[in-house]
Amino acid sequence: MDKFWAHLIKVQPDPDPWVVVVSALVALVIVGFRMPWQVSRGLITIAHEGGHALMALLTRRKLEGIRLHSDTSGVTLTRGRPTGPGMVLTALAGYLAPPLLGLGAAWLTEQGRITLLVWGVLLLLVCMLLLIRNLYGALILLVTGGAVFALIMYAPADIQQVVALVSVWFLLFGGIRPIIELQHKRRRRQARDSDADQLARLTFLPGGFYVFFFLLVSLASVLFGAYLMNPL
């Protein structure tokens, strides 16, 4: 265990500046273009539903389970009071989870704790797998977790570092696009049960306020994450 802990917390050297810049550009291409975004958007959904689930547990709501669907949507089922702070915080956590997770990952990356970051992601995926209640959700988590485990076991440290950098940028950039998509759907009245509209029914503030709040937190996370990983 002492050897494993030492391996877990070891500090990797800082990446070359061009590696940080290229990884950011790769993540931006993945998020910005339709085809790679459709393939990878499910990873943002995993973080989104994980945020709902974690906040439900922290506010002592009964967590029934999580479902991930092939159209990259998802739902987290909880039981408890239909109103009140617990329900509000649980609804808030979804769209905030990817950018805040990316910000935390950026901090670990800046500290050189790449190994700790990758093992932490694997642990979160395993915990989430225990809460999945549909076959597709279990399959996508097994595939993602298997890829992370293979990265840990077989990839050299410099490859792990590059993958971690791309993943951090992907979480930061990928937290913004679903919020923009949400607002477009709300304008066409196609998202009446979205997190923002549920929050509007739970509080005295309109749904547009929550969309703005989600976007503000996401943009702030990108800026602060970029500051942390600034190669200069």
Note every long-range contact of 147-154, with CB atoms under 8 Å and residues 24 or more positions apart, other chains counting: 148/118, 148/121, 148/122, 149/122, 151/118, 152/118, 152/119, 152/122
pLDDT of residue 3: 83
Can you give the pLDDT at residue 109?
93
In this predicted structure, what is the pLDDT of residue 100?
A: 97
- pTM exceeds 0.75 for this model: yes
Alpha carbon of residue 61 to chain centroid: 21
Where does the chain show beta strands of DSSP type E? 62-68, 74-79
Residue from 29, 42, 73 nearest 169 by CA = 29
The two structure tokens encoding residue 207 = 């749904």
Cα distance between residue 36 and residue 195, in whole Å: 25
Whether the per-residue pLDDT at 154 is higher than 80: the answer is yes
- What is the structure's pLDDT at 82? 85
